[in-house]
Amino acid sequence: MTNIDYVKVFESSSAFPRPSSFCPSYGTAGFRADASLLLSTLFRCGLLVAARSLLLGKSCGLMITASHNQVSDNGVKLIEPDGSMLPQDWEPAATALAQCSTDQEVVDSLRSILTTGVSASTLNTPSCEGILSVLFGYDNRPSAPDLLKAAVAGVAALGVQHQDVGFVTTPMMHFVVHQWNSPCRPASTHEAQETYFETLIGAFEQLVEGLPRPPDGGQLLIDCANGVGAHHLVKVQQRLWSAGLQMVLFNTGDGQLNMECGADHVQKERVAPTGFPELKPYSRCCSVDGDADRLVYFTVAGSTSEGTTMLLLDGDKIASLTAAFIKDLLKQLPDSVGSDIKVGVIQTAYANGASTSYVKEQLLLSVECTPTGVKYLHQAAHSYDVGVYWEANGHGTVLFSAELLRRLEKAERVCSAAKDLLLLSKVINQTVGDAFSGILLVEAVLRRKAWSLSQWDGLYQDMPSRQIKLKVADRALITVEDAERKCVTPAGLQKDIDALISEYPAGSRAFVRPSGTEDAVRVYSEAPTQEQANDLACRVGKAVYLQAGGVGPMP
């Protein structure tokens, strides 16, 4: 490509050699590993995102974060001009570039990416003054500054400008990149961040305008995971209090990032986060993760002889609440607007079976199952006028089609439901899962319905479930299909799993899938009682262990 100085790329690459023992692979949303290993990966991701900007003629983004991982880890997420994730068909190229062993291989891999992506005559030159740039954001991990320098060096090697968005949550970064490429481009990245809060909070205020405060005064206890979210939530506390939402923040930075706190910890361990006060029964609490793109609600039920009971309202419950509210509004639209609107709830195999039944049988909405990973759910959601998705871990959002938004805009002056749906599309971050957006969504719906957490939880009763992880010599021995619900290899394993499931009551299920990040196989089971779910998971685990070369003690 005549516009690229490959000698400069070669020379810049030499400062960031890949550790010989490190073989990075693109995961669900990017690269993630111990921060000490990632300098070469960040440099090469800088190259990749700059190349992507040149090919598209628009600004892209790069977010440095490891989300809910421990503080010693870090990672990178690449962001498209519209705020979405890197296209899946670019992931092999990202992995190949990250795994290059020499500087010449880096040059050759980059050259292949550019020549495959576009002809030389249409490559945008780096001299698009002030228009073309790569935006950088990062969370509060101590490793971020050094990794940022490596990423900037990669972008600079292609002659592309960069903008430092600064200390932001991942969802804010996706929103800012989208704004930066919009017709009404903000004057600065700071203005784009202000637009983020004004858009979400402004819509929330209109949705709850005139409604009484909840019986508890609107108090919501928020576990911030000692992450970047706390830095921004503090700024909007007073404004939201005026709108009837009193956010009380915990784990705001004094403790270690994601250590015994955060959405992932609360959802998987089903315990309140460290640093929380003793909870009153049914007090409203929620937890976000380190980069604030996951959200779960929780509380404690009334006291029993054995103490209080943890009540978790995870991503499945958020999706069900949201879908129910949206369906109610859609029913109020005139036929000229809403008669043919296609609504879908997208789940993975990990979604609790009771949530699937509720959506299908009570809400009468379509349910689509995709492989594990938010990139799959997000893609599927685009095929609906309203695509609702949340993983059980609390990562999710709702996508509204451009055509539906045009219809709603025409009807909003004469139909309050159309106006409310438009406001929901603004409260809900349209680019990616967003914990802060999720909080405003849940609080608005609960206020509109005048519901408590116990009423929300009463939508359906979760089936008891169990997850276990088995170490194996080679996870590639396990292959799956049907959105990871059926095992293809080893031959005969699915037949054994089906036979085991048949020994349990109707409604029981189990599946296995290879881990996306380590040599392990994950087993999930559901059954009418917790004892049965535990037993089924262990028996399926033993079958996997025997056929897939388990390592360590048998379950």
Domains of the chain, residue spans: 6-188, 211-313, 315-457, 465-548
State yes or no: pLDDT of 131 exceeds 70: no
Architecture in CATH for domain 465-548: 2-Layer Sandwich (3.30)
Q: What is the pLDDT of residues 399-447, one digit of tens each?
A: 999 999 999 999 999 999 999 999 999 999 999 999 999 999 999 999 9
Is residue 522 annotated as involved in ligand binding?
A: yes
57 is in an annotated binding site: no
Q: Is 289 annotated as a binding residue?
A: yes
Residues 56, 85: Cα–Cα separation, whole Å: 14
Q: Which of 451, 450, 397, 444 is nearest to 206 (CA)?
A: 444
What integer is the mean pLDDT of 451-478?
91
40 annotated among ligand-binding-site residues: no
Which are the contacts of 496, defined by CB distance < 8 A and separation ≥ 6?
Answer: 543, 547
Q: Which two tokens stand for residue 386?
A: 């309203």
6-188 CATH pick, 3.40.50.970, 3.90.1150.10, 3.40.120.10, 3.40.50.620: 3.40.120.10
**pTM of this prediction?**
0.93
Residue 401 among known ligand-binding residues: no
User: Where residue 117 falls among pLDDT bands split at 50, 70, 90?
Assistant: low
Q: Summarize the confidence of residues 292-317 as an average pLDDT.
A: 85
Task: Tell me whether residue 391 is annotated as binding.
Answer: yes
Q: Do domains 6-188 and 465-548 have the same CATH topology?
A: no
pLDDT in tens, 49-60: 999 999 999 999
On whether 370 is known to bind a ligand per the annotation, the reply is no
Establish whether 67 is a catalytic residue: yes
Positive or negative CA dihedral for 535, 353, 458, 273?
positive
Domain 211-313 -> CATH class: alpha beta
Mean of the per-residue pLDDT values for the chain? 92
Q: What is the largest CA-CA distance in the chain?
A: 76
Query: Above 90 in pLDDT, residue 339?
Result: no
pLDDT at 128 over 50: no
For residue 313, give the nearest of 298, 330, 294 by alpha carbon. 298
Q: Is 515 known as a binding-site position?
A: yes
Residue-level pLDDT at 335: 87
Instruction: Give the Cα separation of 467 and 478 in Å (integer).
Output: 17
> What's residue 282's pLDDT?
87
Q: Which residue in 12, 13, 40, 67 is the catalytic one? A: 67
Give helix then strand counts, H and E, for the chain.
19, 19
The answer to the question of whether 301 is labelled as a binding residue is no
How far is it, in rounded angstroms, from Cα 288 to Cα 251? 10
Q: Is 509 annotated as a binding residue?
A: no
User: Which is nearest to 429 in space by CA: 402, 405, 406, 397?
Assistant: 397
- DSSP state string for 300-348: E---BTTB--EEEE-HHHHHHHHHHHHHHHHHTS-HHHHTT--EEEEEE
Kindly state which CATH superfamily the domain 315-457 is placed in: Alpha-D-Glucose-1,6-Bisphosphate, subunit A, domain 3 (3.40.120.10)
